[in-house]
């Protein structure tokens, strides 16, 4: 599109492109006009027009449910929320000192962490392009602090490489980058890539690789002061006499390749993990608590929905007290926003249509395990000089994440000592919490020998055993086929939650799905 | 070294290796034994033995001088400090609301920043391997917070490329890495690198490049969902209906090469800048203030040393009041730790030896300029979604650094709007502070058009005009030749400061040089 038809606003033009050629073409056009990277979230939702007393039942007081309830009430709806648990937040959840958690199967863990320490069993990071979460944090006064994803002084570890000795991320990063840059620079210089690179680009490419890979004038990545400034020194520079630094040896490309330590070099560079990235000060559920403050009066807690019916005249949910049991109770409303995970919803008696039922059944919930380990002191800072960030390993614990808060403090600290998925997670799911913790200790001690001496207590959450979700997040077997039915209004009900989004497992997906649902609901009602 | 001689401690062994083969061989041996990355700093200095009333004059109350004074007094010395300024800290310096600063040439700036906002004209970051600074921060209760060096959502900018439009770091980073990985992977696959890579490694190398570069199964770096997960989306994923993400277009390697935007891709990866990296909460001079609290009673402020004499019987410094002038005063002591920058010391009458005088003359002081700009709101966060980190440009401002604190807050924020060296800095040195600020605004507005509307006030520090250093840090013309003389005791005086270190320009260098000097002094005195 080279020019803009006269008399058309940019908005008109975009609308026209949108209608003619579908969303993809429209966004390409937008990008050309400087709108790239657009988000679904455009600031606080505006639901204009009087809903004239319409009532909405919200099932579930997680972030999706509370977002819907909060915004619908502001728009003039009568809202109530049924929540299975004794508190709000759902997977936006933090375990801290004194908390008690009973999983499916009956194990109860009482959290013994010191005051101020915590584990976020669910979401633990907020990427800086998750505009909706960030905006609600701002509106509700949730204080955020940087989350350290990448730490060059953390370890990458493979039991089958380097004699099982953990290597520093910075060494593998610098040496891998340097040596692939050397290979490519020399290949270009030797005219081996003539058909792929023009002469003009070749010269610039070599210059760029020299800088990118920290190569010398002969395009070699070799032991030197310059290289040590990236991978670290053998002996660090000091002051006064005898202070000259000593360069460090390089790890050969072959050793890095065979050791598979390149595997996590770019883990922290995806848009979901790259800097800047944040966490709430004090634990992720600061967000849940902030939402809960806004909608607490709308929530019926401990309400286990056992039957759900919707239709032309409205919706009715039947529930019992999740703890005490007892008599069935019902609530009715004109419409419903249902945020109950499909894993749970599929087990509730309902009258959804066949396509919606098929959608519910299409979604399975991922397995995931997190183990929080409290140690008497922050040995990873004091001994290993690792302040925040993540070490990666091929052990079933997958990673060790160091706390991104209270750096340099004395006293106990909590590591995320396991965060595993799939097969690795199943090993942990099947055993008792204490055994999971023991497993996390046993494996983690291979990276940090201080584990045994310094361990204090731990807590382990296996998501397949979390009663209110039966898994970590919703995964579609055939999203293309079933997603349209899942998002359509069915029995006066709209679904919301991370599973009804293209940001599964993220709080942003939950909130955006709720905003999208209530906008459609409102349009439906106002007409 | 395959085995350890019987009856020798590891320490003995290392000492033997050290004597036989020099420091470099010793540290190689240490590395083999698991000691790599050793630092000069081994925790609080221990000066054992009674100095029997010996007195030490410390010249300069910067970090080197205060470290020396603090530790010497603890060890039993009589200590006094002469300081040119009205407060301690030297280059560990923060400008905040109400501060007034008069530079060489007479310009006085009164800082108009809002409460809580500040500029660190000198050091502004603490790498996590600067163990001495970190340890003193801990001992003296200086609270640290993460400094954001790399932000994938910040800009890289070249006036000569992309029509002068800033590009997001994440796009250039992903596209450069992806396309060089593609070139190398294909070259390997096509057996063009047979002599450089073994068959076994070749397969692993291709697998690693596929992951590192986010290549598809055909080893291509192409527009796709996977690639967009690293460089960002055209339209971000959302929730509910119409929520599918739209992948973004790739910038060609040729455009990146010609635009020279690769130039700053690894700036944040050197050991001095890689994560984790910190800053004191509230400004760098929180460190200066903490030291000052410990040694305040030892400091004579506003003492401009005009003459210095040392010899067999001790040292004597003659000074006048830096503000009021007036009568000459003298202080004497048995020994002296002199931390006066050589740029200033060279202009003071002294009786140092010829080699020391030559060393003093060998060091020139770098030019550097920093401009702090306060804006009425944090538009870089609110409009550009940049939370901390640095944008780089080929303009004379070199970079724009966004504050790493008070994220998401309302009200005014301060950007580092210029941080330039050498030729670029000279352009700023030569003009008045208001003109420097205007220049920073003019250039910065090319990256952030919001500059003009949002600007509130600024402050500009040109280090060649800073009266107490006459430059930013000491650079040796011939370090190998003159450094030994500079570190030797001369007229009962030992030099300390960042210039007497292999960590020039860093606070760590200043502190380590002071610790090294007092250890040598103490050994000399105790015998």
Query: Distance between the two ends of chain A, CA-based, in angstroms?
Result: 35
Bridge partners (DSSP) of residue B392 are B156, B399
Name chain B contacts of A228, Cβ cutoff 8 Å: 271
Q: Which two tokens stand for residue B174?
A: 């992903």
Query: Distance between the two ends of chain B, CA-based, in angstroms?
Result: 35
pLDDT of residue A37: 64
A104: left (phi over 0), alpha (psi -120 to 50) or beta: beta
* pLDDT-derived band at A136, boundaries 50, 70, 90: very high
SS3 call for B106 = coil
DSSP string, B296-334: GGGEE-SEEEEEEEEETTEEEEEEEETTTEEEEEEEEES
Name chain B contacts of A152, Cβ cutoff 8 Å: 269, 271, 274-276
CATH superfamily for B55-89+286-361+478-526 is FAD/NAD(P)-binding domain (3.50.50.60)
Gap from B138 CA to chain A (nearest CA, Å):
7
The yes-or-no verdict on residue A30 having pLDDT over 80 is no
Contact state of A180 with B209 under an 8 Å Cβ cutoff? yes
Of the candidates B236, B275, B514, the beta carbon closest to that of A129 is on B236
User: What average pLDDT does this structure show over A191-204?
Assistant: 96
Bridge partners (DSSP) of residue A312 are none
pLDDT of residue A508: 98
pLDDT of residue A32: 38
| Three-state SS letters, A311-349 | ECCEEEEEEEECCCEEEEEEEEECEEEECCCHHHHCCCE
Exposed (0-12), middle (13-18) or buried (19+): which is B291, by Cβ within 10 Å? buried
SS3 call for B399 = strand
- Residue-wise pLDDT for B242-289, tens only, equals 999 999 999 999 999 999 999 999 999 999 999 999 999 999 999 999
A43 to chain B: closest CA residue? B382
- Residue-wise pLDDT for B117-137, tens only, equals 999 999 999 999 999 999 999
User: What average pLDDT does this structure show over B347-363?
Assistant: 98
The yes-or-no verdict on residue B26 having pLDDT over 70 is no
- Residue-wise pLDDT for B2-16, tens only, equals 333 344 444 443 344
Q: What's the CATH fold of domain A169-259? A: de novo design (two linked rop proteins) (1.20.1440)
- Residue-wise pLDDT for A458-502, tens only, equals 999 999 999 999 999 999 999 999 999 999 999 999 999 999 999
A498 to chain B: closest CA residue? B239
| Three-state SS letters, A68-103 | HHHHHHHCCCEEEEECCCCCCECCCCCEECCCEEEC
The yes-or-no verdict on residue B80 having pLDDT over 70 is yes
Compute the distance between CA of residue B499 and CA of residue B82 in angstroms, rounded to an integer. Answer: 19
User: What average pLDDT does this structure show over B64-93?
Assistant: 98
The yes-or-no verdict on residue B343 having pLDDT over 80 is yes
pLDDT of residue B527: 82
Domain boundaries, given as residue ranges, for chain B: 1-35, 55-89+286-361+478-526, 95-153+275-283+367-465, 168-252
Q: Which two tokens stand for residue A188?
A: 């270009």
Q: Which two tokens stand for residue B329?
A: 């005063």
Contact state of A501 with B241 under an 8 Å Cβ cutoff? no
Q: Which of A69, A43, A509, A527 is nearest to A296 (CA)?
A: A69
User: What average pLDDT does this structure show over B352-357?
Assistant: 98
Compute the distance between CA of residue B216 and CA of residue B209 in angstroms, rounded to an integer. Answer: 10
Counting one residue from A and one from B, how many pairs have CB atoms under 8 Å apart? 356
Contact state of B150 with A275 under an 8 Å Cβ cutoff? yes
The yes-or-no verdict on residue A55 having pLDDT over 80 is yes
pLDDT of residue B37: 65
Contact state of B28 with A249 under an 8 Å Cβ cutoff? yes
Of the residues B37, B239, B408, the best mutation for testing chain A's interface (the one with the most A CB atoms within 10 Å of its CB) is: B239
Cα atoms in the Cβ-side hemisphere of radius 13 Å centred on A154:
24
Q: Which helix (H) or strand (E) holds A508?
A: helix A507-526
Contact state of A266 with B41 under an 8 Å Cβ cutoff? no
Name chain B contacts of A232, Cβ cutoff 8 Å: 36-37, 129, 271
Q: What's the CATH fold of domain B168-252? A: de novo design (two linked rop proteins) (1.20.1440)
Of the candidates A177, A183, A233, the beta carbon closest to that of B37 is on A233
- Residue-wise pLDDT for A363-402, tens only, equals 999 999 999 999 999 999 999 999 999 999 999 999 999 9
Compute the distance between CA of residue A170 and CA of residue B110 in angstroms, rounded to an integer. Answer: 43
Q: Which of B511, B62, B96, B67 is nearest to B283 (CA)?
A: B96
pLDDT of residue B10: 41
Gap from A388 CA to chain B (nearest CA, Å):
7
- Residue-wise pLDDT for A211-252, tens only, equals 999 999 999 999 999 999 999 999 999 999 999 999 999 999
Q: What's the CATH fold of domain A55-89+286-362+478-526? A: FAD/NAD(P)-binding domain (3.50.50)
Of the candidates A146, A211, A229, the beta carbon closest to that of B262 is on A211
Residue B43: count other Cβ atoms within 10 Å of its Cβ: 8
Percent of chain B, pLDDT > 70?
Answer: 93
Of the candidates A230, A239, A515, the beta carbon closest to that of B515 is on A239
Extract the runs of DSSP E, i.e. beta strands, from B379-495.
389-393, 399-402, 413-421, 455-462, 474-476, 493-495
Of the residues A165, A196, A240, the best mutation for testing chain B's interface (the one with the most B CB atoms within 10 Å of its CB) is: A240
Gap from A234 CA to chain B (nearest CA, Å):
5
pLDDT of residue A33: 37
User: What average pLDDT does this structure show over B53-58?
Assistant: 97
pLDDT of residue B377: 98
Per-chain mean pLDDT for chain B: 93
Name chain A contacts of B278, Cβ cutoff 8 Å: 387, 407
Gap from B143 CA to chain A (nearest CA, Å):
9
Compute the distance between CA of residue B440 and CA of residue B438 in angstroms, rounded to an integer. Answer: 5
Percent of chain A, pLDDT > 70?
Answer: 93
User: Span B95-153+275-283+367-465: which CATH code?
Assistant: 3.90.660.10
Compute the distance between CA of residue A294 and CA of residue A457 in angstroms, rounded to an integer. Answer: 34
- Which residues fall within 8 angstroms of residue B355, CB to CB, at 6 or more apart? B482, B485, B488, B490
Contact state of A170 with B31 under an 8 Å Cβ cutoff? no
Of the residues B276, B449, B503, B513, the best mutation for testing chain A's interface (the one with the most A CB atoms within 10 Å of its CB) is: B276
Q: Which two tokens stand for residue A237?
A: 């520079």
pLDDT of residue A10: 41
The yes-or-no verdict on residue B20 having pLDDT over 80 is no
Least confidently predicted of A39-43, A369-373, A512-516: A39-43
Contact state of B146 with A192 under an 8 Å Cβ cutoff? no
């Amino acid at each position: 599109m080279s020019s803009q038809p006269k008399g058309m606003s940019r908005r008109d033009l975009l609308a026209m492109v949108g209608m003619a050629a579908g969303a993809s073409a429209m966004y390409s056009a937008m990008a050309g006009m400087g709108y790239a990277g657009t988000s679904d979230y455009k600031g606080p939702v505006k639901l204009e027009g009087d809903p004239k007393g319409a009532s909405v039942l919200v099932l579930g007081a997680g972030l999706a449910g509370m977002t819907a309830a909060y915004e619908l009430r502001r728009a003039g709806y009568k809202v109530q929320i049924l929540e299975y648990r004794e508190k709000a937040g759902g997977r936006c959840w933090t375990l801290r000192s004194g908390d008690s958690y009973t999983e499916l199967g009956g194990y109860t863990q009482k959290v013994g962490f010191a005051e101020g320490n915590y584990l976020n069993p669910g979401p633990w990071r907020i990427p800086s392009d998750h505009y909706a979460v960030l905006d609600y944090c701002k509106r509700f006064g949730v204080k955020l602090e940087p989350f350290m994803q990448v730490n060059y002084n953390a370890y990458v570890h493979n039991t089958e490489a380097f004699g099982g000795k953990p290597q520093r991320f910075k060494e593998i990063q610098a040496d891998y980058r340097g040596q692939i840059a050397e290979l490519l620079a020399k290949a270009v210089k030797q005219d081996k890539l003539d058909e792929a690179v023009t002469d003009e680009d070749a010269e610039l490419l070599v210059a760029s690789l020299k800088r990118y890979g920290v190569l010398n004038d002969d395009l070699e990545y070799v032991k030197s002061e310059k290289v040590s400034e990236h991978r670290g020194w053998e002996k660090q520079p000091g002051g006064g006499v005898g202070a000259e630094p000593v360069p460090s040896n390089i790890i050969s490309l072959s050793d890095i390749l065979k050791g598979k330590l390149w595997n996590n070099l770019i883990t922290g560079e995806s848009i979901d993990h790259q800097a800047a990235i944040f966490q709430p000060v004090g634990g992720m559920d600061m967000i849940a608590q902030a939402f809960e403050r806004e909608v607490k009066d709308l929530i019926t807690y401990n309400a286990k929905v056992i039957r759900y019916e919707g239709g032309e005249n409205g919706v009715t949910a039947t529930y019992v007290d999740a703890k005490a049991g007892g008599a069935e109770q019902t609530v009715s409303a004109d419409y419903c926003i249902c945020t109950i995970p499909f894993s749970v919803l599929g087990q509730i008696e309902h009258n959804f249509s066949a396509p919606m039922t098929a959608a519910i059944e299409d979604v399975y919930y991922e397995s995931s395990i997190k183990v929080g380990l409290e140690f008497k002191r922050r040995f990873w800072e004091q001994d290993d000089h690792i302040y925040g960030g993540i070490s990666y390993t091929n052990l079933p614990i997958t990673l060790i994440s160091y706390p991104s808060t209270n750096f340099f403090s004395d006293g106990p600290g909590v590591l995320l000592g396991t965060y595993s998925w799939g097969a690795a997670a199943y090993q942990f799911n099947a055993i008792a919490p204490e055994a999971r913790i023991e497993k996390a200790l046993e494996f983690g001690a291979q990276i940090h020998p201080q584990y045994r001496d310094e361990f204090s207590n731990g807590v382990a959450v296996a998501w397949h055993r979390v009663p209110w979700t039966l898994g970590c997040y919703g995964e579609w077997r055939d999203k293309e086929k079933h997603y349209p039915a899942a998002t359509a209004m069915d029995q006066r009900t709209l679904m919301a939650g991370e599973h009804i989004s293209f940001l599964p497992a993220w709080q942003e997906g939950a909130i955006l799905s709720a905003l999208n649902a209530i906008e459609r609901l409102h349009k439906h009602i106002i007409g």
